[in-house]
Chain A
Amino acid sequence: MLIIDCPYCGARPELEFSYGGQAHIARPQHPADLCDEDWNGYLYVRDNPKGVHAERWRHIHGCARFFNALRDTRTDHFLATYKVGEPAPKVSRP
Chain B
Amino acid sequence: MQRFSALSLFRHGLGRHQGWKPQWRQASPKPTYDAIIVGGGGHGLGAAYYLAKVHGIRNVAVLEKGWIGGGNTGRNTTIIRSNYLFDESARLYDHAVKMWEGLSKELNYNVMFSQRGVMMLAHNVHDIQSFKRHIHANRINGVDNEWLTPEAAKAYCPPLNIDPKVRYPVLGAALQRRGGTARHDAVAWGYARAADALGVDIIENCEVTGIRRDASGAVSGVETTRGLIASRRIGVSAAGHSSVIMDMAGVRLPLESYPLQALVSEPVKPVFPCVVMSNTIHAYMSQSDKGELVIGAGTDVYTSYTQRGGLHIATHTLEAICELFPQFRRMRMLRNWGGIVDVTPDRSPIIAKTPVPGLYINCGWGTGGFKATPGAAHLFAHTIARDEPHPINASFTMERFRDGFMIDEAAAAAVAH
**Which residues of A line the B interface, CB within 8 A?**
1-2, 14-15, 18-19, 21, 36-37, 39-41, 43-50, 53, 55, 71, 73-76
Contact A46 B312 (CB under 8 A): no
Known A73-B304, A73-B305: A48·B257 in contact at CB below 8 Å: yes
Q: Roughly how many angstroms separate A71 CA and B302 CA in the complex, as a whole number?
A: 10
B243 interface residue (CB < 8 Å to A): yes
For A74, the closest partner residue in chain B by CB is B305
Q: Are A46 and B311 in contact (CB under 8 A)?
A: no
Q: Does B244 contact A (CB under 8 A)?
A: yes
Check B303 against A2 for contact (C-beta < 8 Å).
no
The 10 closest A-B CB pairs, nearest first, are A44-B254, A48-B243, A40-B402, A19-B301, A1-B310, A50-B305, A19-B302, A44-B401, A45-B252, A73-B305
> What is the bound-complex CA distance between A21 and B388, given in angstroms?
33
Contact B255 A46 (CB under 8 A): yes
CA distance A50 to B255 in the complex (A): 13
State how many angstroms separate the Cβ of A28 from the closest Cβ of chain B. 15
Number of interface residues of B (CB under 8 A): 24
Q: Are A74 and B306 in contact (CB under 8 A)?
A: yes
Q: A-contacting residues of B (Cβ < 8 Å)?
A: 241, 243-244, 247, 252-257, 301-306, 310-312, 342, 345, 401-403
Which of A1, A46, A71 is packed against the most chain B CB atoms within 10 Å? Answer: A46
Partner pick for A46 among B241, B254, B305, B403, CB 8 A cutoff = B254
Which partner residue on chain B sits nearest A57 by CB separation?
A: B302
Pick the residue among A48, A53, A55 that contacts B253 (CB under 8 A). Answer: A48
On whether the beta carbons of A50 and B244 are closer than 8 Å, the reply is yes
Contact of A1 among B247, B257, B311 (CB under 8 A): B311
CA A32 – CA B252 in complex, angstroms? 23
Can you show 6 pairs from A to B with CB atoms below 8 A apart? A15-B312, A36-B402, A44-B401, A45-B252, A45-B253, A46-B243
Nearest A residue to B313, CB-CB: A1
Given contacts A45-B252, A48-B253, are A55 and B303 in contact (CB under 8 A)?
yes
- Give the chain A neighbours of B244 by CB distance below 8 A: 48-50
Q: Nearest Cβ in chain A — how far from B344, in angstroms?
A: 8
Chain A residues with CB below 8 A from B256, complex form: 21, 46, 48
Judge whether A43 and B257 touch: CB under 8 Å: no
Q: Establish whether residues A36 and B255, one from each chain, have CB atoms under 8 Å apart when the complex forms.
A: no
Which residues of B lie under 8 Å from residue A55 when comparing CB positions? 302-303
Task: Please tell me if the beta carbons of A75 and B306 are within 8 angstroms of each other in the complex.
Answer: yes
Contact partners of B303 in chain A: CB under 8 A: 21, 48, 53, 55, 73
Pair A48/B306 contact, Cβ less than 8 Å = no
Cβ–Cβ < 8 Å partners of A71 in chain B: 302
- Using Cβ atoms and an 8 Å threshold, which residues of chain A touch B305? 50, 73-74
Q: Which chain B residues lie closer than 8 Å to A40 at the CB level? A: 254, 401-402
Looking at the complex, which one of A43, A48, A50, A76 makes contact with B401 (CB distance below 8 Å)?
A: A43
Given contacts A1-B312, A2-B310, contact A18 B302 (CB under 8 A): no
Q: In the complex, which residues of chain B have a beta carbon less than 8 angstroms from the beta carbon of A41?
A: 252
A76 to chain B, nearest CB (A): 5
Expressed in whole angstroms, the Cα–Cα distance for A43 and B254 within the complex equals 9
Known contacts A1-B310, A1-B312: A49-B301 contact under CB 8 Å: no
Nearest neighbor of B346 in chain A, beta-carbon distance: A44
